[in-house]
């Protein structure tokens, strides 16, 4: 029996980020939703391992750009 997903989350993002997600999805033959879920799962796992240091590192990288 397939796993049914019942949770929905919506958020705003820049058109540039959406385009990048669409490009990744196309390259991987997956949906944008699947790519977002995979990337979020990876981020959650990294946060579990590193805690707040993970987010601090991401925020400091964004400031450098």
Which pLDDT score is estimated for 41? Answer: 96
Which pLDDT score is estimated for 8? Answer: 87
List, in order, residues 6 or more apart from 36 with CB less than 8 Å away.
21
Dihedral pair phi/psi, residue 64, rounded to 5° = -75, -25
> Residue 2 pLDDT > 90, yes or no?
no
Average of per-residue pLDDT values in the chain: 90
Contact, 25 vs 17, CB < 8 A?
no
pLDDT digits (tens, 9 = 90+) for 55-65: 999 888 766 65
Which pLDDT score is estimated for 65? Answer: 59
> Residue 47 pLDDT > 90, yes or no?
yes
């Amino acid at each position: 029996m397939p796993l049914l997903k019942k949770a929905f989350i919506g958020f705003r993002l820049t058109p540039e980020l959406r385009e990048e997600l669409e490009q990744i999805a196309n390259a991987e033959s997956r949906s944008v939703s699947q790519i977002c879920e995979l990337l979020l799962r990876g981020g959650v796992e990294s946060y579990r391992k590193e805690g707040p240091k993970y987010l601090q590192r991401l925020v400091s990288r964004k400031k450098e750009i």
